[in-house]
RNA sequence: GCUACUGUGGCUCAAUGGCAGAGCAGCUCACUCGUAAUGAGCAGGUUGUCGGUUCGAUUCCGACCAGUAGCUCCA
């Protein structure tokens, strides 16, 4: 028998050729076998049942590994399907993969599933776990496969799409068999802790022309504590829902009268304006000139830009004096009009034009979501016109600006570079040059980044920033897109050192993305407890009784004089009540004033974070607060 | 837009084919208070809209509107 040598975390062991990952794991320890989800041989992920035929480094993957999780959740989805076939005979199974967090199974059934069914299904799943059935793999040729799946119409369709002549793999656990490429765990008993989370509609093969199936989602973990942690995280996310906090804190409102058109309330405006003030200062420092272009522009402009042909279904249009007009869904055409109005010398480049542009887009009604997905929003847009050899520096500068602005909120982010797609426009050399410039800028920034091959826009490559919030969720906000097409369409030019006309390159970029969405992210990131510099109310003065009203008013006046957004709570309520109200409103500082404070000229300071901080001189507090605001501490 | 679900005072929720109820918030009065809810009282609703069934509909049915989850979309 031929032998192979496997490196197991430095421990070199010899096995017969064709040994499986499961056998190796079992050889190391029964515990490891139970925890094993998959294996990785020299960076290649494998099922535990795959024969290993060459020497190399072998990792036994558990739930802690992403690929291990994938196998774990994949088996969980089979567990769900197994239970469903037991409970609902005749159910048609479509697909059941693992996803980023958990798994789902798409089914077609006469029974309409609701969360009320979950109990019953989970009970059946638990039974199957308890039975601890072996999960076995086998392969069939196409004809046998079709026979086996003859009563499963979706599976038959999948089988027919598989390449001719290839062996088709199946996984079987007891009385349940599913067409599946794997990988899977070895026994149903390894799925320790699970929960079905939701049921929704989903199109067969993700195509809206096809039948809508029912998708049942679930999540599973090898430990009950991990499941609880996960469920708690979901609960925390619910508590931070910006739609709820937005109303409670008086930030914004959505009315039935304007679905997707948010209304900003006074507190929301304070937040928004502070954000914008910061944005303006940063942009001025970074050499941008601000403009404002109209919301409504005529059809011919949108024909020139290409939006009339390519973006029409998302645009609101109107007729003025019998001429077609469109409400802008993007700001670039306006910026191009401004650029083209004057003759530009190469000495004037790069030209950085920024605009807080209110755009309208007709998003599908089902896609609307609080401030995250709206039909009217303000982009913190900018367009930079430059020569090819300025690309790298300009991109580098934008990355720096994003880094600086996100830093004010303690937001971490991931970078992605998206390169030439298949349906690209323009010259390949141009693309290669541009991609190299973007990548150089990224390298120069010293930030880590990921490359998304072929994910760029047809008009140019781009860099996306994905914010990670305090709950570890990811949001795409800033994006930098290179564009060779619009300058072409608008015949944009500058005069070069040679006295000839040349075409500049343009970049579109946003940093916050949409102000509305960014505010939603901030609300959830901070759970409504904003950094002091953007808090709608920065300090509330709480007199203990009526006798201290006058002093409280003096304190408030002093705060306001120093530029602090302060209020007095004069209501005839107990101090505890007022403190509670201020805490719920997430006011950063509460200044409690009573007899003692009045006599000493102090305030009793309470922070929303740390609670009672004791007495402090008013001027000391004001100086500290001013510093905190100025430094944008959080 | 599609599928499923939901729609009762400002908010959270209860009830019912037969006079729609509570807590919080609001308003009024009393209390003048030391670090997360003082007490009492008052007011607030054509039960999302329109139509149908019925002696009677907020409840049952239909359409529409809006929302929720997901799908799709996001050059």
Q: How would you classify residue A104: left for phi > 0, otherwise alpha for psi between -120 and 50, otherwise beta?
A: beta
pLDDT of residue A560: 96
Q: Separation of CA A260 and C1' B46 in angstroms?
A: 29
Q: Where are the domains of chain A?
A: 3-62, 67-237, 247-293+328-526, 532-630
Q: How far apart are CA A40 and CA A144, in angstroms?
A: 31
Q: How far apart are CA A221 and CA A76, in angstroms?
A: 9
CATH superfamily for A3-62 is Beta-grasp domain (3.10.20.30)
Q: How far apart are CA A532 and CA A566, in angstroms?
A: 12
Residue with CA nearest to B69's C1' atom: A200
A2 sits within 7 Å of strand B by its CB: no
- Residue A239 annotated among the catalytic residues of the structure: no
A367 sits within 7 Å of strand B by its CB: yes
pLDDT at A471 exceeding the cut of 80? no
Q: How far apart are CA A552 and CA A567, in angstroms?
A: 10
In A29-65, where does DSSP find H-type helix? 30-35
Q: What stretch of H or E contains A173? A: strand A168-173
Residue A186 · residue A36 · CB < 8 Å: yes
Average the pLDDT over A109-115 and give the result.
77
- Residue A572 annotated among the catalytic residues of the structure: no
The average confidence (pLDDT) of chain A is 90
Going by pLDDT thresholds of 50, 70 and 90, the confidence category of residue A391 is very high
Q: Using alpha carbons, select from A249, A274, A265, A276 the residue that is nearest to residue A524.
A: A249
pLDDT of residue A505: 93
- Residue A508 annotated among the catalytic residues of the structure: yes
Residue A474 · residue A467 · CB < 8 Å: yes
Residue with CA nearest to B38's C1' atom: A574
Q: Separation of CA A200 and C1' B26 in angstroms?
A: 39
Residue among A49, A82, A106, A332 flagged as catalytic: A332
Residues 260-289 of A with CB under 7 A from strand B: 260
Q: How far apart are CA A517 and CA A278, in angstroms?
A: 17
Residue A191 · residue A185 · CB < 8 Å: yes
pLDDT at A15 exceeding the cut of 90? no
Q: State which nucleotides on strand B lie below 7 Å from a protein beta carbon.
A: 1-5, 11, 29-38, 65-73, 75
- Strand-strand pairing, A193-203 and A252-253: unpaired
pLDDT of residue A117: 80
pLDDT at A160 exceeding the cut of 90? no
Q: How far is CA A226 from CA A63, A229, A461, A490, A614, in A?
A: 11, 5, 40, 56, 40
Report the topology of domain A532-630.
Answer: Rossmann fold (3.40.50)
Residues 281-340 of A with CB under 7 A from strand B: 305-307, 310-311, 330
Closest nucleotide to A366, Cα to C1': B1
A363 sits within 7 Å of strand B by its CB: yes
Q: Separation of CA A214 and C1' B59 in angstroms?
A: 29
pLDDT of residue A66: 85
pLDDT of residue A302: 95
Residues 562-621 of A with CB under 7 A from strand B: 572-577, 579-580, 583-584, 590, 592, 594-597, 604, 606, 608, 611-612, 614-615
Q: What is the share, in percent, of chain A residues with pLDDT greater than 70?
A: 100
What is the ipTM score, two decimals? 0.92
pLDDT of residue A101: 81
Any residues with CB less than 8 A from the CB of A64 and at least 6 apart, and which?
none
Report the topology of domain A67-237.
Answer: 3.30.980
Report the topology of domain A247-293+328-526.
Answer: BirA Bifunctional Protein; domain 2 (3.30.930)
pLDDT of residue A353: 97
Residues 188-217 of A with CB under 7 A from strand B: 198-203, 206-208, 212, 214-215
């Amino acid at each position: 028998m031929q032998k192979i040598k496997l490196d197991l975390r430095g421990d070199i062991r010899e096995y017969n050729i064709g040994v499986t990952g499961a056998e190796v794991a079992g050889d190391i320890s029964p515990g490891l076998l139970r925890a094993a989800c998959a294996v990785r041989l020299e960076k290649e992920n494998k099922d535990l049942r795959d024969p290993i035929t060459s020497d190399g480094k072998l990792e036994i993957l558990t739930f802690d590994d992403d690929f291990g999780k994938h196998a774990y959740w994949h088996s969980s989805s089979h567990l769900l399907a197994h239970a469903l076939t037991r409970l609902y005979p005749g159910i048609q199974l479509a697909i059941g993969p693992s996803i980023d967090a958990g798994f789902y199974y798409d089914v077609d059934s006469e029974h309409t599933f609701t969360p009320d069914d979950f109990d019953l299904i989970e009970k059946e799943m638990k039974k199957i776990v308890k039975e601890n059935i072996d999960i076995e793999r086998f392969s069939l040729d196409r004809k046998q496969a079709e026979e086996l799946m003859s009563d499963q119409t979706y599976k038959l369709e999948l089988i027919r799409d598989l390449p001719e002549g290839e062996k088709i793999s199946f996984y079987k656990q007891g009385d349940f068999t599913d067409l599946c490429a794997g990988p899977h765990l070895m026994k149903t008993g390894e799925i320790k802790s699970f929960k079905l989370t939701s049921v929704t509609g989903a199109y067969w093969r993700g195509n809206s022309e096809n039948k809508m199936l029912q998708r049942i989602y679930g999540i599973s973990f090898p430990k009950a504590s991990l499941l609880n942690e996960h469920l708690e995280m979901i609960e925390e996310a619910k508590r931070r829902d910006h739609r709820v906090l937005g109303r409670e804190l008086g930030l914004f409102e959505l009315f039935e009268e304007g679905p997707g058109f948010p209304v900003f309330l006074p507190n929301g405006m304070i937040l928004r304006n502070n954000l914008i003030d910061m944005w303006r200062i940063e942009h001025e420092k970074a050499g941008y000139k601000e403009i404002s272009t109209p919301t409504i522009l005529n059809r011919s402009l949108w024909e020139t830009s290409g939006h009339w042909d390519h973006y029409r279904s998302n645009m609101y249009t109107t007729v003025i004096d019998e001429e077609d007009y469109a409400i802008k869904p993007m700001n670039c055409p306006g910026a191009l009009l401004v650029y083209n109005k004057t003759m530009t010398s190469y000495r004037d480049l790069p030209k950085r034009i920024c605009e807080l542009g209110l755009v309208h887009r007709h998003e599908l009604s089902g896609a609307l979501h609080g401030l995250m997905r709206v039909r009217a929003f303000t982009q913190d847009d900018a367009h930079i016109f430059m020569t090819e050899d300025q690309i790298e520096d300009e991109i580098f500068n934008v990355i720096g600006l994003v880094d600086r602005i996100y830093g004010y909120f303690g937001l971490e982010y991931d970078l992605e570079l998206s390169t030439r797609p298949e349906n690209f426009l323009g010259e390949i050399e141009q693309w290669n040059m541009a991609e190299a410039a973007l990548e150089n800028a990224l390298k120069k920034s010293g930030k880590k980044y990921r490359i998304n091959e072929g994910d760029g826009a047809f008009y140019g490559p781009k860099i996306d920033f994905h914010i990670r919030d305090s709950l570890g969720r990811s949001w795409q906000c800033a994006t930098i897109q290179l564009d060779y097409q619009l300058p072409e369409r608008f015949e944009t030019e500058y005069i070069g050192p040679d006295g000839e006309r040349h075409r500049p390159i343009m970049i579109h970029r946003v940093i916050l993305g949409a102000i509305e969405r960014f505010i939603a992210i901030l609300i959830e990131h901070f759970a409504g407890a904003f950094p002091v510099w953007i808090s709608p109310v920065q300090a509330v003065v709480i007199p203990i009784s009526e006798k201290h009203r006058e002093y409280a008013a003096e304190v408030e006046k002093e705060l306001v004089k120093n530029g602090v957004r302060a209020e007095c709570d004069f209501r005839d309520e107990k101090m505890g009540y007022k403190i509670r109200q201020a805490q719920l409103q997430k006011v950063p500082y509460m200044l409690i004033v009573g007899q003692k404070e009045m006599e000493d000229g102090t305030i009793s300071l309470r922070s929303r974070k740390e609670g009672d901080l004791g007495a402090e001189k008013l001027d000391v507090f004001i100086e500290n607060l001013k510093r905190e605001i100025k430094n944008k501490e959080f």
